[in-house]
A and B are shown apart, each in its own frame.
Chain A
Amino acid sequence: MGFFLETLIGGLMAGMLYSLIALGFVLIFKASGVFNFAQGAMVLFAALAMARFAEWIPEWTGIQGKLAANLIAFVLAMAVMAVVAWLIERLVLGKLVNQEGITLLMATLGVTYFLDGFGQTIFGSDIYKIDIGMPKDPIFLLEGTFPGGILVGQEDLFAALIAAALVAVLAAFFQYTGTGRALRAVADDHQAAQSIGIPLNRIWVIVWSVAGFVALVAGIIWGSKLGVQFSLSLVALKALPVVILGGLTSVPGAIIGGLLIGVGEKLSEVYIGKFFGGGIEIWFAYVLALGFLLVRPQGLFGEKIIDRV
C-alpha cells in the first residue's frame, strides 16, 4: 500500500508538470485556434535564455548574489519570450489568418524547427543548468502509518507547488483583469470580439506572451530537474496526449488530463510494464488518450464538435 501511494504521488507530481506544458497549448488554442506544436521549442528556448542569462549577468554587471542574478535573468528571459511572441504573431500567424487548423499546425512545426536552431545558435548547445535553489533531498511522509514511510522528492513537491500556483495566477488573470476578459471574449468568438473593438492582433501577442511565460516556468522547473538541453523540447511531446485527453479548449481539462496521464503512466509502468518488457511510458499516454478519444472524440472537457455541411 505504501508503495502504491508512493507511485501515485510520484505520478501526480509528474502529471502536474505535464499540465504546466499542456496549459500553454490550451491557452493558445483557445485564443487563436492554433495548435501550437512549438510549445516544446518555446520551453527549450526560454530555459536556454534563463540558464545563459543567469550565467552571463554576473559577468556583465558584477552582481554577485544568486537570487538577484536569477531574478534579472528571469525578467530578461521573459522579455525575450515576449519578443518571440510578437515576432511569431507578426511574421507567421498574422499572415495565416483564416487558414485551416492543419495549415496553422504545420506553420508552428516550422516555428519549432526555427526556434530550436536559433536558440541553440545564440545560446549554445551544451547542457546548461538552472539553479534556483530548489531543495533536492527526498523526504519521507506518514512514517507512522506505513513501514518506511512514503518517499517524496522535495524537488518534485516544490515543482508541483509552483505549477499549482501558476495555474491559480493564470485563472485569476483570466477571471478578474480587463485583459483577461478580452482574452476570454476572443476565445469565445473572434468576430464578435473584434466588432466590439478588441484588437485581435494585440490579444494574440498577449496570448503568445502568456504562453511564453508558461513555457519559461515549465522550462525552469524541467531544466533544473533534467538540465537544459535539446531533449527538453521533446518534453512537449509528452504533453500532447494530455491536451487531447483533456480537450483542446479546456484549462481544467489540461490540469486533470495531466494528472490522469501522470498517474496512469507511472502506475502502468510499475504494474503492467513488466509484462511488456518495460519502457512502456513512451507510448502508454498516447494509447490511453487514443482509447479515450474513441469514446469521446472531443476529449474530456472539450467543446462538442458539431459538423455542418
Chain B
Amino acid sequence: MLYRENGQFKTSYRTDQQIFPILQDKVVIGLLLALAFIAVPLLAPEYLFKAVLIPFLILSLAALGLNVLVGYCGQISLGTGGFMAVGAYAAYNFLIRVEGMPPVLAILLGGVCATVVGVMFGIPSLRIKGLYLAVATLAAQFFCDWAFLRIKWFTNDSSSGSVSVSGLSVLGLPVDTPAAKYLFCLSFLVIFGLIAKNLVRSHIGREWMAIRDMDVAAAVIGIRPVYAKLTAFAVSSFFVGVAGALWGFVHLGSWEPAAFNIDRSFQLLFMIIIGGLGSIMGSFFGAAFIVVLPIILDNLGVAVGFDTAFASHLTFMIFGALIVFFLIVEPHGLARLWSIAKEKLRLWPFPH
C-alpha cells in the first residue's frame, strides 16, 4: 500500500533512468544514509564498531570489487586476497616513503597499484578461460603472499613482514576513535558504491555482462574482449586494493601478509555467492551475512557451552552447507530474495 509506483509518471529520459525511480525508494535510502551517518556513530557501542560495522564496510567494498569481476564480467578470481595485500602494502609504502603524503591519497594510490597488478594478472584471461583461469588467478594470490613475506623492501625491512600505521588523519581531523574510523570507511563505501552502480549501468557495464553471458557472441557483435575484460580487472582490483588498504590502515592498524591469505579470497567469493552474483545490493548483503554469522555462531556456541574448537569447526560446516544450499536453492543469492520481497510489497495487501 505504501510502496507502489502508481501515479509517478516519468516525463523525461533523465527521470526514467534514475537509480531509484520510485519516490519511496529515495526516501528509504535517504533515511538509511541518515541513520548510518548520524544515528549510528552517536549510538553504537565500541564493540559493535570494531567487530561488526568496520569489517562489514570494508569487506563490502572488497566484495563490490570482486562482484564487478565475477558477477558482472564472469571472470572468476581466486586471487582477491593478493590484490588486497597489494593495495595495503602499496599504500603503506606511499605513506612512509613520501614525505607529507595524506593517508587518503595513499589509500587511493594503493588502489592504483592494485589496479596495475590486477591488469597484469588479468592479461592471461584473454586466452585462458573458465576453470583454467580460476586456477591461474591463484598464481596472483600465492605470488603476492610470497612477495610481501620475502621481499623486504615492501615491508620496510621488518623481519616478519608485519607493518603498522598509526595516527591517521583527514584534513587535520584525527581518525582514531571507532566512530571516526566508521565514518571514514562509510564515506569510502558510499562513494565507491555509487561509482560501481553507475559503472554497471553504463555502456561498459553492459559490455561486461555481454562478455559474461557469452564471450564469443559478444566479440561477434563488436565488443572488444580485451578492453572489456581488462577494464573489469582494473576496476575490480582498484576497489579491492582500496579495501585492502582500508583493512590494513583502519581496521587492523598493524598487519602481516597472513591477513590477506587465500582464506580471505574464499571468504570474499562466498560473500558474493551468498549475496548474489551480479548485484551491487548483493555485495552488501553477502558481506553483512558473512561478517555477522561467525560472531553469532561463536556467541551461540559459548552460550550453549561448546568448546571453541568445536564451535569453529561448526562454523566451517555451516558455511559449507550454506554455500551449497544457496547454489542449489537460490543461485542468485540474498539479492534475489530482496527483489522478490520488493515485488510482493508492491502488490501488498491486494495481490490480485
A interface residues (Cβ-Cβ under 8 A, vs B): 35, 91-92, 95-96, 99, 101-103, 105-107, 109-118, 120-121, 125, 237, 240-241, 243-244, 248, 276-280, 282-283, 286-287, 289-290, 293-294, 297-299, 305, 307-309
Contact = CB atoms under 8 A, between A and B. Distances in A.
B313 A297 contact: no
Judged by DSSP, the binding face of B is helix
A243 B135 contact: yes
Given A117-B314, A283-B139, A283-B146, A248 B320 contact: no
A106 B135 contact: no
Given A92-B324, A113-B323, A121-B314, A279 B149 contact: yes
Contact of B124 (A102, A279, A293, A299): A293
A112 B133 CA distance: 20
A98 to B, nearest CB: 12
Contacts of B143: 283, 286-287
B340 interface: no
A287 to B, nearest CB: 6
Nearest to B143: A283
19 contacts: A35-B131, A35-B134, A91-B324, A96-B327, A96-B328, A106-B327, A109-B270, A113-B323, A115-B320, A117-B315, A117-B317, A240-B135, A244-B132, A244-B136, A279-B146, A279-B150, A282-B142, A287-B139, A297-B132
A231 to B, nearest CB: 13
Contacts of A286: 135-136, 138-139, 142-143
Given A286-B142, A294-B124, 19 more contacts: A95-B328, A99-B331, A101-B130, A103-B331, A105-B134, A107-B327, A110-B319, A117-B316, A117-B319, A117-B320, A118-B317, A120-B316, A125-B309, A277-B152, A279-B146, A289-B136, A289-B139, A290-B128, A294-B128
A227 to B, nearest CB: 18
Contacts of A125: 309, 313
Interface in B308-338: 309-310, 313-324, 327-328, 331
B128 A293 contact: yes
A110 B324 CA distance: 6
A102 B130 contact: yes
Contacts of B317: 113-114, 117-118, 121
A297 B129 contact: yes
A103 B215 CA distance: 18
A240 B216 contact: no
Contacts of B217: 309
Nearest to B217: A309
